[in-house]
Amino acid sequence: MSDAWLYQVRITVSSELATTLRDDSQNMPASLNDVLRRHDASLVCQFDAFAGYVDEAEKLGPDNYPLYQWTRDTIENPEKKAKYLRAFTAYVDGADVYAAQIADSLQSALSALVGELGIERVVKIDTNPANNPQPPAKV
Q: What is the pLDDT of residue 1?
A: 46
Which helix (H) or strand (E) segment holds residue 13: the answer is strand 7-13
CA distance 100 to 60: 35
Q: What is the pLDDT of residue 129?
A: 84
Mean pLDDT by 10 residues, the chain (139 residues): 82 96 88 96 96 96 92 96 97 96 98 93 92 67
Domain segments of the chain as ranges: 2-131
- pTM comes to 0.90
Q: What is the pLDDT of residue 31?
A: 95
Domain 2-131: assigned CATH number? 3.30.70
Alpha helices by DSSP H, listed for 61-114, are 68-76, 78-85, 100-111
